[in-house]
Structure 1
């Protein structure tokens, strides 16, 4: 969240992708990302302007943004005004084309949906789902689709993985975790094994889900 978007090699060397977007605005600090099947990278940015600017985050004030790093190397600023946009996922149609972007807004517990009109272009922001209330401060964090279109969402602070059907709305299932702050979920390729990161103890867990994960960009290409 201090350097925006990075590319990291297997040996740990990294490169900062951009300091400004295609409009010349300073990049905001990023948090989560998802590749669609055509190779565009969709990114949430809950922090303020990247270093050396002062570190700020949009948990209270809604200045969080979303970006798209296109296959042409353009960093497109898509939207702003979000309170700590966090997890992000892409819905594809039966032909493998990206059609919808799901973005988690943690403090409000809302999952927003945008229609994808093309690389670096979205429209029609709507509320796709809202996570159940919880006693602690928290909300949606990382997320991943299974291969029948269910979205598994880490509910940070509530100790659950919330499962939403392909059309959003209310959770169709809730998976109880043995800890309060699941932060990210990700399927093992071609498997029903789900890995879960735990925020408090910096731990990694796994469980078996009833379906395999949706194929990733790397599985398709």
Structure 2
């Protein structure tokens, strides 16, 4: 598999890639710099949105604007004007926390996790945002990360990074209720920490490994590691499918806290990578429904 970079930009903490099927663009965030990046792959057009806050994640709304979560709260970014309108902040009274990874669910609700800037154990939660309000779905998380839903929308997969595992929850699409949490994948310490995640058309999970130099593919029904793709950066943060027929695999990475020596050894750290015609196919991302 040939691994190339998508754009010259290198993020401090690249995260949360998502494919815009209408604009044929790959989007991703740089959490620490408060940027949302957009690159139209067939026209070579690049755009950067400045949130002026740490931005944990973003997703596309049905009106083609962004729903996003920053240290200022959860709200919407107008892609024409760049203006942000905040709707809710479920942790406005929690000092020292920020939002991290998040995605829209099959019903068009926005799910987002929080974490302590200090990475204190159990300081975070996962929230579901709809109709301008947030409700807590999972508590006592540490570093909320990857989320994915299975093909018949009955299971939510979720990663709390320090646990080195993938949880599965029974998921009710009609109201977003989750129950019966259980571990379906356990990851060995030598593989690095599980971070962001996506799912393919065969129901297999793709996991980015922070400190592991890789993306892996797993069968969540058996907990079996199917294969790995090695990458030229240690801090691999997330992945998603995009491009024609969703067959290109996009992978974000980070360069935050790397030493000068480490940066010399991995000059592409912080890049957005792509593996074109990966041999696998993703599924369309869900759009936020107002």
Asked if structure 1 preserves the Cα contact closer than 8 Å seen for 2:206 and 2:217, the reply is: yes
Query: What is the CA–CA distance in structure 2 between the aligned matches of 1:142 and 1:4, rounded to whole Å?
Result: 21
Query: What is the CA–CA distance in structure 2 between the aligned matches of 1:141 and 1:162, rounded to whole Å?
Result: 11
Change in Cα spacing, 1:6 to 1:131, as seen in structure 2 (3 Å) is: farther
Query: What is the CA–CA distance in structure 1 between the aligned matches of 2:279 and 2:188, rounded to whole Å?
Result: 22
Query: Is 1:167 the counterpart of 2:218 in the alignment?
Result: no
Q: CA deviation at 1:194?
A: 0.9
| Aligned match of 2:210 | 156
Higher strand proportion (structure 1 or 2): 2
Query: Is 1:19 the counterpart of 2:89 in the alignment?
Result: yes
Query: Is 1:37 the counterpart of 2:106 in the alignment?
Result: yes
Q: CA deviation at 1:86?
A: 1.4
Query: What is the CA–CA distance in structure 1 between the aligned matches of 2:185 and 2:103, rounded to whole Å?
Result: 19
Change in Cα spacing, 1:91 to 1:42, as seen in structure 2 (3 Å) is: farther
| Aligned match of 1:66 | 126
Change in Cα spacing, 1:124 to 1:43, as seen in structure 2 (3 Å) is: same
| Aligned match of 2:271 | 203
Give the TM-score, by structure 1 length.
0.80
| Aligned match of 1:52 | none
| 3-state secondary structure, aligned to 1:17 | strand
* Cα offsets for 1:108-148 (capped at 9, x unmatched): 2111121113423211111121223227xx51111111111
| Aligned match of 1:125 | 181
Query: What is the CA–CA distance in structure 2 between the aligned matches of 1:134 and 1:13, rounded to whole Å?
Result: 43
| Aligned match of 2:137 | 78
Query: What is the CA–CA distance in structure 2 between the aligned matches of 1:168 and 1:4, rounded to whole Å?
Result: 38
| Aligned match of 2:50 | none
Which 5+ residue runs of structure 2 have no aligned equivalent? 1-55, 57-70, 256-268
| Aligned match of 2:14 | none
Q: CA deviation at 1:32?
A: 1.4
Which 5+ residue runs of structure 1 have no aligned equivalent? 48-55
Which segment drifts farther, 125-134 or 3-12? 3-12
Question: 141, 161, 184: which one pairs with 2:195?
Answer: 141
Asked if structure 2 preserves the Cα contact closer than 8 Å seen for 1:69 and 1:120, the reply is: no
Asked if structure 2 preserves the Cα contact closer than 8 Å seen for 1:65 and 1:81, the reply is: yes
Q: CA deviation at 1:26?
A: 5.9
Query: Is 1:101 the counterpart of 2:156 in the alignment?
Result: yes
Question: 231, 239, 246: which one pairs with 1:185?
Answer: 239
| 3-state secondary structure, aligned to 1:213 | coil
Query: What is the CA–CA distance in structure 2 between the aligned matches of 1:104 and 1:113, rounded to whole Å?
Result: 9
Name the structure, 1 or 2, with higher relative contact order (CA <8 Å, separation 6+). 2
Question: 249, 253, 261: which one pairs with 1:194?
Answer: 249
Query: Is 1:3 the counterpart of 2:58 in the alignment?
Result: no
